[in-house]
Amino acid sequence: MNVTLSHVSRRFGGFQALDDVSFTVRSGELVALLGPSGGGKSTILRIIAGLESADAGSVRLGNEVVDSLHPRERRVGFVFQHYALFRHMTVARNVAFGLESQRLGKRETAARVAELLKTVGLQGMENRLPSQLSGGQRQRVALARALAPSPRVLLLDEPFAALDTKVRSELRRWVRQLHDDTGVTSLFVTHDQDEAFALADRVIVVNHGRVEQIGTPLEIMDQPATEFVARFVGEANVLVGTGTSDGVQIGPLVVPRDARVASDQLHVVVRSYDLKFWRDDTGGTATVQRVQLLGDRVKVEADLDGVGPLFAQFPRRSSLLHGIELGCRIAVEITTARSYARQG
């Protein structure tokens, strides 16, 4: 079931929550809406579900325009950030609640509930209350309830935000497997890029109510379409450069010029892993300010002559780290960079 938004806009008072948003989620895809808090991601989900209405534009599920349909008629499953389970109902009754609109018999309902609880790994917990479950288990109940009516589309609004790091990581893997098993078209909201990249087939980057870029995780990371995407995704240095006939001059460094950018006043975005540092006491162009161990990686912060702070990360046993210490001089090479015209 394709999900298509065409030129959707939504304003709340004086706040423009969505501004001419258009995209298509293909049937069977798992797509992430990624962006900072307040960027419009949850509003998109709520408009698809029919919990909010758009001021302009339309939503199609498959070939059907659903703007005038009641949420129940859209057959969309919705999983909220804070579970929204009924505290006085058992696990089984919470899941069965999603089946009420289908008016199934008791036997069919019980069979569907049992099937779903097995699918989400909660068999044997049918009679527990939500208060007797862990956060991860509650979220699995919420997923089972959303899947119970066999929705055409599954929407998840920051489904892992309330969970601790370890549980969140485990549930991500489980949700990806669940999606692969069910094949239901799914769209989830997150501001966590690791989460988006670990789960999604494609990522839609949203900022200030507009779509900045749509692509695979690799495309978003390696080919950011805008400066916002380049800054938001991954750890990056943002340097000021000047276009020359030889490339882009950044203090003592020159990097290849990006032919798609006409301006000579540039912001150059360099990922932390797209740099090489090595000790050079006589011809170095930067001074090491800090060396920080980060598990199996080492972050080196330096001051580039005439430019300012610059940082890179290396595998802990990289030969490039040999001799690098606080205060030493280093040579710097930028292996890959993206340029964007400076505004203002």
For residue range 211-247, list pLDDT tens digits in order. Answer: 999 999 999 998 899 999 999 998 899 999 999 888 9
Average model confidence (pLDDT) across the chain: 91
DSSP 343: P
Most trustworthy range by pLDDT among 43-47, 111-115, 130-134, 242-246: 43-47
User: pLDDT class for 178, splitting at 50, 70, 90?
Assistant: confident
User: pLDDT class for 344, splitting at 50, 70, 90?
Assistant: low
In this prediction, residue 54 carries a pLDDT of 96
In this prediction, residue 169 carries a pLDDT of 80
Instruction: Look at residue 311 and tell me whether its pLDDT is greater than 80.
Output: yes
Residue 343 near residue 300 (C-beta atoms within 8 A): no
Q: How far apart are CA 324 and CA 158, in angstroms?
A: 41
SS3 assignment, position 79: strand
Q: Which residue has the higher pLDDT, 99 or 195?
A: 195
Q: What is the 3-state secondary structure (H, E, C) of 156-223?
A: EECCCCCCCHHHHHHHHHHHHHHHHHHCCEEEEEECCHHHHHHHCCEEEEEECCEEEEEECHHHHHHC
In this prediction, residue 257 carries a pLDDT of 84
Residue type, 165: T
For residue range 26-64, what is the model confidence (pLDDT) as tens digits? 999 999 999 999 999 999 999 999 999 999 999 999 999
In this prediction, residue 52 carries a pLDDT of 95
In this prediction, residue 245 carries a pLDDT of 86
For residue range 260-273, what is the model confidence (pLDDT) as tens digits? 788 889 999 999 99
In this prediction, residue 246 carries a pLDDT of 86
For residue range 11-36, what is the model confidence (pLDDT) as tens digits? 999 999 999 999 999 999 999 999 99
